[in-house]
């Protein structure tokens, strides 16, 4: 799999990303497996991972403005 921006090689790695879940709510997920370009830092989240992220986001306490979670709970 190659980067859709620059054509560089995507490498599997773990990172921390913020997800906006409302007008003023952000959930930060740590240890997220992504494919990141070694050339331009563009990243891709695989469908299976994104589905798990959505499950995590759906289970978040809606009264909290900022929450940090681990991908592997």
Q: Which residues bind Zn ion (CB under 5 A)?
A: 3, 5-6, 8, 37, 39-40, 42
> At which residue do the structure tokens 């940090």 appear?
68
Residue nearer to Zn ion on the CB measure, 42 or 67:
42
Alpha helices (H) in 11-46, listed in sequence order: none
* Cβ proximity to Zn ion, 27 vs 37, nearer residue: 37
As measured in angstroms, the least distance from the Cβ of 36 to Zn ion is 9
Q: Tell me the sheet residues that pair with 30.
A: 70
Beta carbon of residue 34, minimum distance to Zn ion (angstroms, whole number): 13
Residue with Cβ nearer Zn ion (19 or 43): 43
What are residue 40's DSSP bridge partners?
none
The minimum distance between CB 38 and Zn ion, in angstroms, equals 8
Cα–Cα separations (whole angstroms), residue 36 to 6, 15, 58: 12, 9, 25
């Amino acid at each position: 799999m190659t980067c859709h921006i620059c054509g560089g090689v995507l490498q599997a790695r773990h990172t921390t990303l913020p997800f906006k879940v409302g007008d003023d709510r952000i959930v930060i997920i740590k240890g997220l497996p992504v494919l990141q370009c070694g050339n331009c830092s563009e990243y891709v989240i695989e469908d299976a991972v994104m589905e798990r992220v959505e499950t995590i986001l759906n289970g978040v306490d809606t009264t909290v403005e900022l929450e940090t979670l681990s991908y592997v709970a």
